[in-house]
Amino acid sequence: MLVCVARAYLCTRFTLLCAISIDSISCPCERAWPQAALLFLVRLSGTSFFAAEQDENGDGARELKNMKSDRMKVLQMDVCSDQEVAQAVDFVKRTLKEPEEGLWGLVNNAGISTFGEVEFSSLDNYKKVADINLWGTVRVTKAFLPLIRRAKGRVVNITSMLGRMASPSRSCYCVSKFGVAAFSDCLRQEMYRWGVRVILIEPSNFVAATGILTADSIDKQADALWRGASDTVQEDYGREYFARHVALMKSFINSGLKDMSLVLNDITDALTSPSPNNRYNPMETYWWVRLQVMTHLPTAIADWLYIPGATL
């Protein structure tokens, strides 16, 4: 079963508040993101952070509290809970000296991930991933958006290269990330009249940096996928094919970038630049080229170049 562990970072400069929401699953993520928060504290000097955890008494919250920064407060918020998101908004309003000046920015980063070909993926898997990645982003954005409009601020949604191009065995994840991208594009067009910028950051493979997928979590997911598949699917695909599929996912998580600075640099620029890009693509050259091919060339040619078994 996938578990939602939500984390959000809210920061303020003078009377303007910048909200940075980071969701994750698995313990390794809980060690990575507090370090990222600390980098933001250093870069955005003069800002104060409100760090919202699903469990304010959990390990992640304790790590944040142990930073002992007078510019950061820890509160509780689960992005899957209407009530807790509303309570977080109320807390921020009460904390601001001049709440009428609003929020400067909101950065949503949905961090739950899974794998599995369509015939192995249950509807529950699709729903669980979407609940966090898509509906969590929509829920938090809608809750804070009135305050952001007051400040003519920024909404920065971190999606993925898989929110622009599909990939075999990643349909649950792609559906949620394509959804966030579409939501962001619509919101960007709606917010121009308010002077609000809506920005997408589309990283490539940073699994090694965040720990969003690990060898252990892949093994657990693989076991659940196989046990949940019908007899027909198990017989038609076979154990050997499925094992190769799992091995490919493990190689993927070991091949990604281990330094989050590319993403953090783009988030910082999106929040602070007077003229931010509408889209940022922190990624290696290989993935940048593949993204351009998959999104600009005719579909048949792009598939033939990259997808095994595709024909022209």
**Which conformational region is residue 156 in: left (phi greater than 0), alpha (psi within -120 to 50 degrees), or beta?**
beta
Question: Which tokens is 300 given?
Answer: 């048949």
DSSP-based helix, strand, coil % in the chain, nearest 5: 55, 15, 30
Question: Which tokens is 199 given?
Answer: 């920005």
Q: Smallest Cα–Cα separation from 292: which of 300, 302, 282?
A: 302
Half-sphere exposure of 71 (CA within 13 A, CB side): 20
Residue type, 59: D
Alpha carbon distance 170, 137 (integer Å): 19
Alpha carbon distance 217, 151 (integer Å): 41
Active centre residues (catalytic): 173
Alpha carbon distance 83, 36 (integer Å): 27
Q: Are strands 5-13 and 47-53 parallel, antiparallel or unpaired?
A: antiparallel
Alpha carbon distance 312, 304 (integer Å): 6
Alpha carbon distance 73, 95 (integer Å): 10
